[in-house]
Amino acid sequence: MKLKNLINNTEILEIRGNLETEVCGIASHSNYVSPGGIFFVLKGQKTHGRYYLAEAINNGAKVIIFDEPLPDCPEGVTLIQVQSVREAMGKIAARFYDYPAKYMTLIGITGTNGKTTTSHLIASILHKAGLKVGVIGTIGYSYYDRNISASMTTPENIDLQKLLKEMLDAGITHVVMEVSSHALAYERIAGCDFKIGVFTNLSQDHLDFHKDMEAYFYCKKRLFTHHLDGPGIINKEDNYGKKLLNLDIPFITYGLNCADIAAKVIKMDLDGTEAKIETPKGAFNINTSLLGMPNLYNIMSAAGAALGLDIELIDIKAGIEAVSYVPGRLQRISKNGIEVIVDYAHTPDALRCVLSNLRKFCSSRLITVFGCGGDRDRGKRKIMGEIAGKLSDLIIITNDNPRTESPEQIVKEIEMGLRHCKRPYFIIYDRKRAIRSTIKKARRGDIVLIAGKGHETYQIVGERVYPLSDIEEVENILDAPID
């Protein structure tokens, strides 16, 4: 495709070079530049694309798109300065892959907690309705039997458009996508209009990036103000959800009472949930192994999304009940009377919700193993320590993904919230040893919560990535012969 056609509708400040250039590829990483391709010069959180400009040109880049001053480039390279390189990249990527999103139905899910489980529930419902579904989210990107590991919840523009094109070419008609606040801030979903937008909830997270809650909410709101071409499915019991209801868009609300989608609990315990789901099209009962009230809200949001797509109630019920668990989301692993729950809870509100729900099912001690990630929102560490201290009987603080921060400093900040709770706690930095030691000492009737990493199969220490799966560790310990 010719460059002049690719950059239509892009806000350009200056052009130096040949617009008749035939573009053979697009990339924002110098290693992925192909001969005759475009290189987008992005400013990252740790480095800047201009430092890789020579490498990109050496790999064959013939067009450089940038929004900040660059070093001199050799003759024969077309330079295009734009207002925002990220916004330009989104538009150009969509055009390069011929706008694949236009030919599919997109369902976007945003919020702090619950996105992954909700996406799995919606996908399951759509499968039951006989539709061809792709999923893009934190656990991975999948369609049919193809599973691609996820480096981020919502891929970068180029990767996203390429993936959507692959799904379209494979016959996928519906895509369920988790839309992160970073994706909205960085315009990763440029070129995507969503038929359904789901809002789960909003609570403290990513404030190292967004600075405050209002800025965080502003990014989330963009899904509904800039990318939605259909109803919003809104949690009306969330304070930020109530703010979204003031927007001039159609919406379907959900909540326990007085909402379009409501729920009445029949039974809720460690074996799962029985509930009556009430909708404008009628009511139906569900019997699911998904645990706790957070999952009931996820079920209601999925039902709302399905209704927004005119899915029949029989398929909604069948789709919900077909999901036995979602990896690392209130995932129960039980043996010999020892109950272990692995959950991704890495925010204050998620930890509070999980512990409050597990307390209802616990006949003995509620034991929590958790840590906080390094190089991320430091403000939540003390808060999470206090929550764990108030709602647990015993706490083991351990490493999460310390990254380049000192594990000792992270633990010290968690301890600040624990010290006033008068609950016993121990520090075991080695996460494997912390999990093993805690489960080995658990008694019948105890519930052990392993929180923070959920589905993840790695641990980041310094700049290195090591294999580590909470789920596998728990299963190995419970399967081991009793001492």
Residues 167-202 have pLDDT tens digits of 999 999 999 999 998 898 888 998 899 999 999 999
Same domain as 223, residue 367:
no
Task: Please enumerate in sequence order all residues whose Cβ is within 8 A of that of 130, keeping only pairs 6 or more positions apart, or say none.
Answer: none
Look up the domain containing 130 and give its range: 100-322
Q: How many domains does the chain have?
A: 3
Q: The tokens 């409050």 sit on which residue?
A: 356
Q: What's the longest Cα–Cα distance across the chain?
A: 74
d(CA 177, CA 150): 12
Given 35, 67, 96, which residue is the final one in a domain? Answer: 96
Which residue, 322, 350, 373, sits at the end of a domain?
322
Same domain, 424 and 470: yes
Q: What are phi and psi of 16, to 5 degrees?
A: -130, 105
> How many whole angstroms separate alpha carbon 60 and alpha carbon 38?
9
Is 235 in the same domain as 361?
no
* Domain match, 17 and 147 both: no
User: What residues contact 44, with CB distance under 8 A and at least 6 apart?
Assistant: none
- Taking CA 304 as the corner, what is the angle to CA 299 and CA 307, rounded to the nearest 5 degrees? 125
Domain boundary residue, one of 96, 112, 143: 96
The tokens for 328 are 């690392």
Confidence (pTM)? 0.94
- By three-state DSSP, how is residue 458 classified? strand
* CATH number of the domain where residue 375 is located: 3.90.190.20
48 in the same domain as 20: yes
pLDDT value at residue 44: 77
Which residue's entry shows tokens 């959950």?
343
CATH number at residue 61: 3.40.1390.10
CATH number, position 166: 3.40.1190.10
Question: Do 279 and 404 fall into the same domain?
Answer: no
DSSP conformation class of 204: S
pLDDT block averages, 10 residues each, the chain of length 483? 90 92 94 95 85 94 93 87 92 95 97 96 98 97 93 92 97 97 88 96 79 90 95 97 96 96 97 98 98 97 98 98 97 93 95 96 96 94 97 98 97 94 95 97 95 97 96 93 63
**Residue 330 CB-half CA count within 13 A:** 32
Judge if 80 and 171 occupy the same domain: no
- CA separation for the pair 281, 304 (Å, rounded): 11
Are 335 and 314 in the same domain? no
On average, the pLDDT of the chain sits at: 94
Distance from C-alpha of 88 to C-alpha of 227, rounded to nearest angstrom: 16
The reply to whether 296 and 414 lie within a common domain is no
* pLDDT tens, residue by residue, 80-137: 999 999 989 999 999 999 999 999 999 999 999 999 999 999 999 999 999 999 999 9
- 114 plus 262 within the same structural domain: yes
pLDDT at 1: 85
Task: Let me know whether 170 and 290 are in one domain.
Answer: yes
Tracing tokens 């077309």 back to the chain, one arrives at: 78
Statement to judge: residues 110 and 234 lie in one domain: yes
The predicted structure's pLDDT at residue 482: 61
The token pair that represents 411 in the structure block: 């633990």
Beta bridge partners of 346: none
Q: Which two tokens stand for residue 280?
A: 């404008």
The vertex-200 CA angle with 194 and 203, nearest 5°, equals 125
